[in-house]
Amino acid sequence: MLIVMQPQANEEQINKVIDLIKGKGFEAHVSKGEINTVIGAVGGKTIDIRNLELLEGVQEVVKITSSHKLASRAFKKENTVIKINDVEIGGDQLTVIAGPCTVESLDQMEKIAAELNRIGIRILRGGAFKPRTSPYSFQGLGEEGLKILKYVADKYNLIVTSEIMEISQIPLFLKYVDILQVGARNMQNFNLLRELGCINKPVLLKRGLSATIEEWLMSAEYIMSGGNRDVILCERGIRTFETATRNTLDISAIPVVKKLSHLPIVVDPSHAIGIRDKVAPLSRAAVAVGADGIMVEVHHDPDTAICDGAQSLYPHQFEKLIEQLKIIVPVVDKKL
């Protein structure tokens, strides 16, 4: 349930509500908006809401039927804006994340980072640990890949995001990475999600291969219930019967999630379509329906890429896409 405090409620009144619901066995999650403070009572206990409604400073008590209470728009009316240095995700600035599928070498990352910096991109992506369908495929450079990412990011003033695969890697990622990415295959790795709820860095949560929106938001809830509210959702296509594309990009998920949740949502068209010449149209569509950002694979020489070269844009193609997006963003009240 949600306890909405009156605009003039003071800290003493807020703390009294928190103490009461904690005493009844609930977890208390506080969200302070521009006007009201909202306290989320999370847990399977029962309480007579009249006891809450009679407390000084309480405006109303709202029951939430949704399972994803903390991620719910009912819990927080305002959009969550995640700030990393001078970059904001979820605000009026369209976020663009770009880089190769995987870190191959320092020379490769130097060339790509230099191009992205020239174009004006602030967030660099790159895989150091790669979950691959085949055990014989390239699995990534591991810690050496993270070191390379960190080195080029510092050189070009970029923010780093990379995919984490298991709990034991968390200390390593906290050392080198600014945004920890949870891949589609790990969306329901609940033990990992719980641990990521205890860190103080943003988590980019990709939608599972066949996950419903409800299941996706529940995975976000696992992270948020641990105390980490900085969750970024990422739509990356779902598995359907269609074989003409790598996955099926669920464009409708963006406005649906925007209504259900306050969390920012970005779209990964590269993994959704898997075909280079169709990444730009999907990127334009994602921005047009209200996505807070896009995550695009870019490689200086895709034909020689170790992984996913066919879905990676050349720098000149990516730069053209950015120019196209600059035309679209004003229509959806954003900037680039």
- In b/e form, how buried is each residue of 164-189, taking b as 16+ CB within 10 angstroms? bbeeebbeebeebbbbbbbbbebbbb
User: In this structure, are residues 149 and 203 in contact, taking their beta carbons and an 8 Å threshold?
Assistant: no
User: Residue 13: is its pLDDT beyond 70?
Assistant: yes
Number of domains the chain contains: 2
What's the confidence (pLDDT) of residue 133? 64
pLDDT digits (tens, 9 = 90+) for 286-324: 999 999 999 999 999 999 999 888 999 999 999 999 999
246 and 150 share one domain: yes
Q: What backbone phi and psi angles, to 5 degrees, belong to 149?
A: -55, -50
Is residue 326 one of the residues assigned to a domain?
A: yes
CATH number of 128's domain: 3.20.20.70
Q: What pLDDT score was predicted for residue 107? A: 96
**Is residue 41 domain-shared with residue 105, that is, in the same domain?**
no
Q: Categorize the per-residue pLDDT at 74 as very low, low, confident or very high, splitting at 50, 70 and 90.
A: confident
Task: Specify whether the CB–CB gap between 168 and 143 falls below 8 A.
Answer: no
Q: Which helix (H) or strand (E) holds 222?
A: helix 213-225
pLDDT at 27: 85
Question: Looking at the structure, do residues 132 and 277 belong to the same domain, yes or no?
Answer: yes
Task: Answer whether residue 137 shows pLDDT above 70.
Answer: no
Give the range among 50-59, 86-95, 100-109 with minimum mean pLDDT: 50-59
CA distance 198 to 183: 18
- Please indicate, yes or no, if residue 73 is contained in any of the structural domains: no
Same structural domain, 187 and 285: yes
- 26 Cβ neighbours under 8 A, 6+ residues apart: 41, 42, 43, 45, 47
Domain co-membership, 106 together with 209: yes
Note the pTM of the prediction, 2 decimals.
0.85
Q: Containing domain of residue 112, as a range? A: 82-332
Same domain flag for 166 and 45 = no
Name the pairing type of β-strands 123-125 and 95-99: parallel
Using the 3D structure, point to which of 12, 27, 62 is the last residue of a domain.
62
Contact 264, 64 (CB under 8 A): no
Which pLDDT belongs to residue 29?
87
Q: What is the C-alpha separation between 159 and 109, in angstroms, rounded? A: 14
What percent helix, strand, coil does the chain show, rounded to 5?
40, 20, 40
In a domain, 74, yes or no: no
Contacts of 62 (CB under 8 A, 6+ apart): 1, 2, 3, 4, 74
Q: What is the DSSP annotation of 94-137?
A: PEEEEE-SB---HHHHHHHHHHHHHHT--EEE-BSS---SSTTS
pLDDT at residue 31 greater than cutoff 90 = no
- pLDDT, residue 36, reads 86
Beta carbons within 10 angstroms of residue 10's beta carbon: 12
Question: Which of helix, strand or coil describes residue 180?
Answer: strand
Q: Alpha-carbon distance 165 to 150, whole Å?
A: 18
Task: Please indicate, yes or no, whether residues 173 and 253 belong to a single structural domain of this protein.
Answer: yes
